[in-house]
């Protein structure tokens, strides 16, 4: 009914406009000659068409597209840019909602081009918002959030509540995908806030309610889910919003499934399909098929479930819906195993694992694609900046021309006035000779001044041009480095990734010898380490760039650090057959320095890592010397010397710049992102020190670092604290452990590590569950608390558990290892803190030390 009406209206408007355009053609008017009234009328009509297109967008996206295409044609015929831009946006949206993302992006960009140049803040912001949603659908989540923030700024600037609403709504959905449910909920609640008392915005209101219900469903807070979904469904139905209706029914289906209310679940899914088909939403239909299969699985109708899972698998495979494909394989494997078809179960399980792996690598690929997009947008900004620079230059040129013209004019006026004086005052000439001479002199002076001015202006133009040229060259150079850097990073991440995935799948093959297995595992381990290394470097450099790195100085025993470094790197040196040694310049009781221990170790480790990497025969030595000034210590000088390949003179300065490795011709010769020295240099400078290299190509390199000596306020401990290695007197310990962790791989890893010392392990996947488990098992000895978990994070959960028991041993663990995490953990009541990936020895030593101490105390 409604569609028909819509069709009629659009048809009438189009006819009217076409008639008018025909009229124009017949009477020989072109668009420049349109009368003001005709133009206003046409614009008005184009606006109406666009409004119509937007209004029916979620009811009938295909219709939206056809109307917007018409209004676009009309708008470009009469040169109505704003109309054209809006039409492009709606065409983009119509492709977006049906899942044709690439086409959608094209139209959004067209619209952006139209709106950005005249600085149409309102519409530019809207397009940014649509792009954000698109990036979110494409799983480029960071980019999505970034665009939302951009768009939000514009919307707030214009006090455009509706845009602000959509921004928060989209941000919520991105957070939801990232499983950051707290943030998602905050964003959705913000949406409700914006609407406030305004009950006229039914559609927006129902979106907000529906989204909140989804988060509640995902976090298993079932209390008001049904009521919220029904409420939004009611609104969607009254608004004939087919997209909203189909979504609300879909989630109702999931809710009833969770509650095992079979009849209602089936009914909801059928309804969702009905409305999904109207708007041609293929993904929804596949999702519903999967849901039906899952329902049958819950009902133990395995035959029926298998059939449906197979169908959803086929469909999701065809359409590239990775998540559903993975889940379908998982359940097919479960069903096979229930039916004792172990061969089938294994095959499906393998397919499931394989896809999960590739989903992970896809995530990384997405991150790379994201980097590329960022890079392109940087490029675009630069183009705009160039344009402005050119404009400036142009202005200067005009100014110069003008001033030349002024000079000429003045000269002519000068000559004319002299002529006039001669003509009119012939007789008076002699009398006033002296006066004239003075005047002449004055004019001469003026001329000279003008001449000087002209020259000065020319110089300024020249100067400015050369400045601009320099800036341009510099920008180009850094762009070139960045491109090379991106290519290199992509290579650096892919190489170990291939190692890991490739050799892990080789490991699955039958008939491998023990030696082969050990070899493959070693490759996987090495690739993993390399991957971790590059990720750590990337995180470090971005933190440095963002100015987020602070120093944390404390009294540090340098000899102890030297020993630690030696022990850490000695095995690698031995493996390469290199001589490896270090020297100390002071006795340990005197080797105290106030510095940032973490950064010091990072600097020295980078230098030693490089020495090991670039040295193939001979030796590596490191150590320090102490420098005095007027009998007291002024600074400490550290060195790392190697007999490796050396560094050519002309590169010795550049190696401390970021991205440098990418600039070397034979990039493939050595692994590395070229960030290590840049990070070291930044750290050294933060500690008020200096870093440099003395090297000769082919003859090894000596790297030096100096750090200033600070007066020690506190008294130095008279004996050095040496870390007690776990003694053999260790008694065996047997613990009841709670693992609070939501990542399956980490749980598996913990299980293996804890085998030796745990007699019982209890699991929780959210912070809330962890607290509940602790309440039920107050005899737990040890809690391993992941910090980032859904529903309730690890900090809060630790705090809650600490309230219940002062003594239970809690270890906080994170994968991001950011500065300040440790303090936050201890603050929340954790006893210790570890970072992932876990080091078995560190964890076991930590536990043995703690629990043995307790045993000793207790006698």
Q: Between 564 and 614, whose beta carbon lies closer to ligand ADP? A: 614
Closest distance to ligand ADP from the beta carbon of 667 (Å): 9
Residue pair 830/850 in contact (Cβ under 8 Å)? The answer is: no
Residue with tokens 């107050």: 778
Please report how many Cα atoms fall inside a 13 Å half-sphere around the Cα of residue 519, on the Cβ side. Answer: 6
Could you tell me which stretch among 306-314, 595-603, 672-680, 713-721 binds ligand ADP (CB under 6 A)?
672-680
Residue pair 127/89 in contact (Cβ under 8 Å)? The answer is: yes
Interaction pattern, residues 806-835, with ligand ADP; x per rule: CB under 6 A: ------------------------------
Closest distance to ligand ADP from the beta carbon of 699 (Å): 10
Closest distance to ligand ADP from the beta carbon of 497 (Å): 17
Is there binding between residue 187 and ligand ADP (CB under 6 A)? no
Distances in Å between the alpha carbon of 125 and those of 89, 154, 202, 352, 382? 12, 5, 23, 41, 20
Closest distance to ligand ADP from the beta carbon of 304 (Å): 56
Taking the C-alpha atoms of residue 829 and residue 799, their distance in angstroms, rounded to an integer, is 6
Strand partners, 622: 582, 640
Could you tell me which stretch among 160-168, 622-630, 674-682, 765-773 binds ligand ADP (CB under 6 A)?
674-682
Question: Helix (H, G, I), strand (E, B), or coil: what is residue 375?
Answer: helix
Residue pair 321/286 in contact (Cβ under 8 Å)? The answer is: yes
Taking the C-alpha atoms of residue 179 and residue 389, their distance in angstroms, rounded to an integer, is 44
Q: Between 66 and 619, whose beta carbon lies closer to ligand ADP? A: 619
Could you tell me which stretch among 41-49, 673-681, 795-803, 846-854 binds ligand ADP (CB under 6 A)?
673-681
Q: Between 531 and 673, whose beta carbon lies closer to ligand ADP? A: 673
Q: Between 562 and 660, whose beta carbon lies closer to ligand ADP? A: 660
Residue pair 83/91 in contact (Cβ under 8 Å)? The answer is: no
Instruction: Find the binder of ligand ADP among 93, 660, 707, 753 (CB under 6 A).
Output: 660
Strand partners, 738: 762, 783
From the centroid of its chain, how far is CA 505?
30
Taking the C-alpha atoms of residue 504 and residue 520, their distance in angstroms, rounded to an integer, is 8
Closest distance to ligand ADP from the beta carbon of 531 (Å): 14
Interaction pattern, residues 551-590, with ligand ADP; x per rule: CB under 6 A: ----------------------------------------
Distances in Å between the alpha carbon of 286 and those of 271, 292, 321, 323? 14, 10, 9, 11
Could you tell me which stretch among 63-71, 278-286, 655-663, 746-754 binds ligand ADP (CB under 6 A)?
655-663
Q: Between 548 and 699, whose beta carbon lies closer to ligand ADP? A: 699
- Quick one: which of 181, 204, 182 has its CA closest to 193? 204
Q: In this chain, which residue has its C-beta nearest to ligand ADP? A: 672
Q: Between 226 and 642, whose beta carbon lies closer to ligand ADP? A: 642
Residues 25-44 interacting with ligand ADP (rule: CB under 6 A) = none
Residue pair 225/216 in contact (Cβ under 8 Å)? The answer is: yes
- Quick one: which of 97, 103, 93 has its CA closest to 278? 97
Q: Between 432 and 651, whose beta carbon lies closer to ligand ADP? A: 651
Is there binding between residue 620 and ligand ADP (CB under 6 A)? no
Closest distance to ligand ADP from the beta carbon of 617 (Å): 13
- Which sign does the torsion angle of CA 242, 185, 322, 320 carry? positive
Residue pair 551/524 in contact (Cβ under 8 Å)? The answer is: no
Q: Residue 516 is inside which H or E element, if any?
A: helix 514-545
Is there binding between residue 674 and ligand ADP (CB under 6 A)? yes
Instruction: Find the binder of ligand ADP among 59, 60, 216, 701 (CB under 6 A).
Output: 701
Closest distance to ligand ADP from the beta carbon of 368 (Å): 18
Bridge-based pairing of strands 632-642 and 701-708 is antiparallel
Closest distance to ligand ADP from the beta carbon of 620 (Å): 9
Question: Helix (H, G, I), strand (E, B), or coil: what is residue 726?
Answer: coil
Instruction: Find the binder of ligand ADP among 561, 643, 661, 814 (CB under 6 A).
Output: 661
# residues contacting ligand ADP (CB under 6 A):
21
Closest distance to ligand ADP from the beta carbon of 171 (Å): 36
Residue pair 141/178 in contact (Cβ under 8 Å)? The answer is: yes
Residues 589-608 interacting with ligand ADP (rule: CB under 6 A) = 606
Q: Between 17 and 611, whose beta carbon lies closer to ligand ADP? A: 611
Instruction: Find the binder of ligand ADP among 614, 692, 704, 763 (CB under 6 A).
Output: 614
Could you tell me which stretch among 192-200, 309-317, 449-457, 666-674 binds ligand ADP (CB under 6 A)?
666-674
Closest distance to ligand ADP from the beta carbon of 656 (Å): 7
437-453 per-residue burial string, b: 16 or more CB within 10 A, e: under 16: eeeeeebeeeeeebeee
Could you tell me which stretch among 63-71, 366-374, 567-575, 659-667 binds ligand ADP (CB under 6 A)?
659-667
Closest distance to ligand ADP from the beta carbon of 627 (Å): 23
User: Which residues of 463-553 form beta strands (DSSP E)?
Assistant: none
Closest distance to ligand ADP from the beta carbon of 369 (Å): 24
Query: In sequence order, which residues have a C-beta less than 8 Å from that of residue 393 and are 6 or more positions away?
Result: 464, 465, 468
Give the neighbor-by-neighbor strand order of the sheet with 782-786.
758-764, 735-740, 782-786, 809-814, 832-835
Question: Helix (H, G, I), strand (E, B), or coil: what is residue 631?
Answer: coil
Residue pair 52/67 in contact (Cβ under 8 Å)? The answer is: yes
Closest distance to ligand ADP from the beta carbon of 281 (Å): 47
Is there binding between residue 533 and ligand ADP (CB under 6 A)? no
Distances in Å between the alpha carbon of 606 and those of 488, 705, 763, 830? 19, 12, 39, 31
What's the distance, Cα to Cα, between the start and end of the chain in Å? 85
Q: Between 174 and 533, whose beta carbon lies closer to ligand ADP? A: 533
- Quick one: which of 37, 72, 34 has its CA closest to 53? 72
DSSP string, 698-716: TS-EEEEEEEE-----SPP
Q: Which two tokens stand for residue 213?
A: 């219900």
Closest distance to ligand ADP from the beta carbon of 662 (Å): 9
Q: What is the largest CA-CA distance in the chain?
A: 131
Taking the C-alpha atoms of residue 810 and residue 831, their distance in angstroms, rounded to an integer, is 5
Instruction: Find the binder of ligand ADP among 155, 195, 305, 645 (CB under 6 A).
Output: 645
Is there binding between residue 673 and ligand ADP (CB under 6 A)? yes
Is there binding between residue 677 and ligand ADP (CB under 6 A)? yes
Q: Between 201 and 702, whose beta carbon lies closer to ligand ADP? A: 702
Q: Between 60 and 701, whose beta carbon lies closer to ligand ADP? A: 701
Instruction: Find the binder of ligand ADP among 132, 285, 293, 675 (CB under 6 A).
Output: 675
Bridge-based pairing of strands 782-786 and 758-764 is unpaired
Q: Between 401 and 581, whose beta carbon lies closer to ligand ADP? A: 581
Could you tell me which stretch among 132-140, 189-197, 524-532, 610-618 binds ligand ADP (CB under 6 A)?
610-618
Instruction: Find the binder of ligand ADP among 226, 327, 642, 786 (CB under 6 A).
Output: 642
Instruction: Find the binder of ligand ADP among 672, 689, 790, 812 (CB under 6 A).
Output: 672
Q: Between 614 and 692, whose beta carbon lies closer to ligand ADP? A: 614
Instruction: Find the binder of ligand ADP among 284, 611, 787, 834 (CB under 6 A).
Output: 611
Is there binding between residue 610 and ligand ADP (CB under 6 A)? yes
Q: Which two tokens stand for residue 551?
A: 């120093």
- Quick one: which of 708, 715, 770 has its CA closest to 737? 770
Instruction: Find the binder of ligand ADP among 127, 647, 687, 843 (CB under 6 A).
Output: 647
Question: Helix (H, G, I), strand (E, B), or coil: what is residue 645?
Answer: coil
Instruction: Name the residues that contact ligand ADP, by CB under 6 A.
Output: 606, 610-611, 614, 642, 644-647, 655, 660-661, 664, 672-678, 701
């Amino acid at each position: 009914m409604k569609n028909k009406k819509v069709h009629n209206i659009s048809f009438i408007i189009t006819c009217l406009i076409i008639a008018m355009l025909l009229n124009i053609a017949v009477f020989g008017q072109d668009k420049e000659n349109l009368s003001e009234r005709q133009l206003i009328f046409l614009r008005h009509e184009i606006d109406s068409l666009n409004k119509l297109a937007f209004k029916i967008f979620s009811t009938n996206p295909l219709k939206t597209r056809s109307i917007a295409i018409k209004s676009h044609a009309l708008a470009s015929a009469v040169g109505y840019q704003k109309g054209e831009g809006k039409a492009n946006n709606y065409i983009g949206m119509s492709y977006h909602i049906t899942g044709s993302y690439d086409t959608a992006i094209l139209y959004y960009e067209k619209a952006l081009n139209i709106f950005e140049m005249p600085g149409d803040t309102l519409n530019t912001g809207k397009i940014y918002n649509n792009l954000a949603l698109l990036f979110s659908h494409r799983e480029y989540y960071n980019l999505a959030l970034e665009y939302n923030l951009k768009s939000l700024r514009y919307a707030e600037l214009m006090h455009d509540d509706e845009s602000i609403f959509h921004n928060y709504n989209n941000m919520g959905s991105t957070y939801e995908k990232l499983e950051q449910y707290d943030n998602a909920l905050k964003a959705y609640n913000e949406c409700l806030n914006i609407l406030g008392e305004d009950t006229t915005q039914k559609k927006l209101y129902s979106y907000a309610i529906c989204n909140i219900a989804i988060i509640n469903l995902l976090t298993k807070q079932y209390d008001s889910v049904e009521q919220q979904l029904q409420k939004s469904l009611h609104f969607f139905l009254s608004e004939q919003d087919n997209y909203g209706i189909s979504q609300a029914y879909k989630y109702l289906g999931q809710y009833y499934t969770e509650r095992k209310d079979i009849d209602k679940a089936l009914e909801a899914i059928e309804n969702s399909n009905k409305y999904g088909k109207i708007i041609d939403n293929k993904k929804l239909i596949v999702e519903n098929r999967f849901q039906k299969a899952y329902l049958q699985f819950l009902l133990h109708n395995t035959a029926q479930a298998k059939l449906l899972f197979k169908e959803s698998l086929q469909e999701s495979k065809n359409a590239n819906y990775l998540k559903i494909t993975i889940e379908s394989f998982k359940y097919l494997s479960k069903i096979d195993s229930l039916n004792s078809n172990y061969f089938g179960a294994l095959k499906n399980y393998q397919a499931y694992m394989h896809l999960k792996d590739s989903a992970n690598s896809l995530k990384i690929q997405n991150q790379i694609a994201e980097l590329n997009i960022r890079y392109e947008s940087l490029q675009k900004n630069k183009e705009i900046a160039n344009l402005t620079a050119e404009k400036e230059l142009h202005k200067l040129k005009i100014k110069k021309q003008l001033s030349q013209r002024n000079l000429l004019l003045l000269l002519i006026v000068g000559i004319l006035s002299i002529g006039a004086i001669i003509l009119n005052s012939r007789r008076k000439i002699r009398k006033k000779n002296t006066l004239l001479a003075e005047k002449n002199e004055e004019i001469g002076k003026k001329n000279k001044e003008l001449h000087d001015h002209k020259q000065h202006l020319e110089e300024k133009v020249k100067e400015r041009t050369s400045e601009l040229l320099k800036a341009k060259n510099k920008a180009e150079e850094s762009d070139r480095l960045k491109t090379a850097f991106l290519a290199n990073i992509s290579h650096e991440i892919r190489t170990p990734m291939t190692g890991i995935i490739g050799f892990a799948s080789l490991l699955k093959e039958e008939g491998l010898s023990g030696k082969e297995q050990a070899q493959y595992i070693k490759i996987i381990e090495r690739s993993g380490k390399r991957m971790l290394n590059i990720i750590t470097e990337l995180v470090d450099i971005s933190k440095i760039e963002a100015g987020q790195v602070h120093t944390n100085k404390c009294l540090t025993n340098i000899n102890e650090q030297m020993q630690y470094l030696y022990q850490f790197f000695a095995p690698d040196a031995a493996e390469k057959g290199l001589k490896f040694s270090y020297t100390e310049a002071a006795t340990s009781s005197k080797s105290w320095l106030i510095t940032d221990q973490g950064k010091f170790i990072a600097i020295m480790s980078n230098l030693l890592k490089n020495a090991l990497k670039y040295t193939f025969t001979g030796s590596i030595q490191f150590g320090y010397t102490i420098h005095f000034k007027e009998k007291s210590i002024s600074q400490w000088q550290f060195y790392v010397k190697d007999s490796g390949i050396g560094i050519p003179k002309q590169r010795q300065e550049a190696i401390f710049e970021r991205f440098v490795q990418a600039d070397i011709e034979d990039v493939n010769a050595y692994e590395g992102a070229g960030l290590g020295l840049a990070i070291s240099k930044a750290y050294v400078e933060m500690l008020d020190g200096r870093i440099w290299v003395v090297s000769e190509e082919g003859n090894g390199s000596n790297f030096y670092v100096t750090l200033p000596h600070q007066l020690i306020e506190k008294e130095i401990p008279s004996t050095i604290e040496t870390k007690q290695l776990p003694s053999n007197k260790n008694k065996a310990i047997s613990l009841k452990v709670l693992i609070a962790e939501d990542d399956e791989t980490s749980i598996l890893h913990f299980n293996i590590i804890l085998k030796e010392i745990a007699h019982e392990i209890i699991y929780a996947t959210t912070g809330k569950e962890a607290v509940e488990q602790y309440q039920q098992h107050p005899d737990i000895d040890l809690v391993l608390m992941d910090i980032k978990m859904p529903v309730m994070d690890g900090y809060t959960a630790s705090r809650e558990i600490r309230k219940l028991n002062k003594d239970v041993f809690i270890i906080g663990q994170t994968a991001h290892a950011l500065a300040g995490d440790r303090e936050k953990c201890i603050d929340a009541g954790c006893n210790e803190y570890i970072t992932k990936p876990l080091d078995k020895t560190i964890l076991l030593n930590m536990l043995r030390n703690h629990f043995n101490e307790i045993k000793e105390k207790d006698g």
